[in-house]
Amino acid sequence: MKTKKILGISMLALMLVVAGCGGKSSGGGASEGANAKQGSGEQVTLEIFNQKSEVKDYLNQIIANFEAENPNIKVNQVQVPDSRKVLYNRLASSDAPDIMSIFPNESDFKTQAESDYFMDLTGSDVLANVNPQFLDGVKVNGKDYSAPLTVNAYGIFYNAGKFAELGLKVPATWAELEQTAAAIKEKGAIPFATSFKAAWSAGHLTEALLTNAVGYEAANGFFQDASVKAADDPGVQKLIAQMDFIRDNSQPDAAGADYPDAVNLFATGQALMLPQGIWAVPVIEQAGMEDAYKMFPIPNEGGNGAVVGGIDYALAISASTEHPEEAKKFVKFMADQQTAQYLADNEKSPSTITGVKADAPQTEDVTKLITEDGRYYPWLHFNWKAGLDSSWGTETSAYLIMKDKDALLKWINQEFGK
């Protein structure tokens, strides 16, 4: 991604500073008078296809609040395994949900928007509460096809209670991380809870590692420079060494572990660190985490690790929905300050909605870097061709499980035209 794109995401992040504090809400809902109750009329049913398991329960509550204010509109939440593949197949087969959660920074989304799968929301009051800086970063050919609602960031969760008990300090450099892992092992605990079976999780982990191994500019530049082979790139070599370190310090069955398995291992105190995004907070809480826990950025050689991220939860409306006005009404409800504050209070991710602030001490040491110059960068795959991020996750997951270095290097060279 070019410098202007980096500046763009920095400006986007800067707007989190000026977001006002909202009072903690007990449930989602529109501001008073924003959505008047509808009278009796024809019953309309909307489908919302949700790709984020972390918000499932909160979304159900929001739907209940919406239906109470709009008795002639019923909203069904749909969530399925391998949701990305299922959604893409449905779009291609003209079976699009009315509303869907999407990731508007992704190349896939931009391609789909250009193919007229999504409703053009440019100038719509649906987006009235969304901070314009967040919209600027996800426009497609100058138009708005999504309503971004939250922002994500990646780092390493740690059991603050057990760190204090064992006299461990939060590592800032990679060497300190290695020392911390060794000390945890000596105490009979597991350093890292990981989920190599989950390709998406492996993909996020390895992008964050690579960005910190050599810096965003160098990491991004490697993928754009066809003349540099993977075996000759210092960033890739550092990444592989760091992947080996993470694997060697994970639970014995990490190869077969999925996302919930890793979270449970961390939440029960068996593993003291969990590399993951801030989206994991509600899952950790639901897993019954009793010890105090916090988060630190991926360490690097200089001790000033960067945070990677982008728009996390966003909604798009199908261009072919049979109920466009009702769909827009629901998305507008999602972007209402009271609803957004409810989501921020529970899901804990920074909000894109003006006047909404997430109170999340567990992640503040990572999220505060979103507004710090040179400490927050976009995911590398935002600049890759459509679909390549999924393949990256699959291949890095395979390496973490099989440790076939030649296969990984060959794939990188092939897919990035080297």
- How would DSSP label each residue in 185-243? HHTT-EEE---TT-HHHHHHHHHHHHHHHH-HHHHHHHHH-TTS-GGG-HHHHHHHHHH
Q: Which has more confidence, 4 or 88?
A: 88
**Residue 408: which H helix or E strand, with range?**
helix 405-415
* Residue 392, pLDDT above cutoff 60: yes
Please report the beta strands in 133-173, taking only residues with DSSP state E, as ranges in sequence order: 147-148, 151-159
* Residue 65, pLDDT above cutoff 60: yes
* Residue 96, pLDDT above cutoff 70: yes
| pLDDT, averaged across the chain | 91
* Residue 198, pLDDT above cutoff 60: yes
Q: What confidence tens digit (pLDDT) does each residue in 255-302 have?
A: 999 999 999 999 999 999 999 999 999 999 999 999 999 999 999 999
Task: Report pLDDT for 353.
Answer: 98
Reported confidence tier of residue 127, pLDDT bands at 50, 70, 90 = very high
Average pLDDT over residues 321-335: 98
Average pLDDT over residues 205-221: 98
Task: Report pLDDT for 8.
Answer: 42
Task: Report pLDDT for 61.
Answer: 98
Q: What confidence tens digit (pLDDT) does each residue in 351-391 have?
A: 999 999 999 999 999 999 998 889 999 999 999 998 899 99
Q: Domain spanning 20-150+312-356 has what CATH number? A: 3.40.190.10
In the chain, % of residues over pLDDT 90: 88
Average pLDDT over residues 302-311: 96
Reported confidence tier of residue 145, pLDDT bands at 50, 70, 90 = very high
Residues of the chain with CATH 3.40.190.10: 20-150+312-356, 154-308+374-415
Task: Report pLDDT for 41.
Answer: 66
Q: Is CATH 3.90.850.10 correct for 154-308+374-415?
A: no
Strands of the sheet with 44-49, listed across from one edge = 73-78, 44-49, 99-102, 314-317, 147-148
In the chain, % of residues over pLDDT 70: 90
Task: Report pLDDT for 40.
Answer: 45
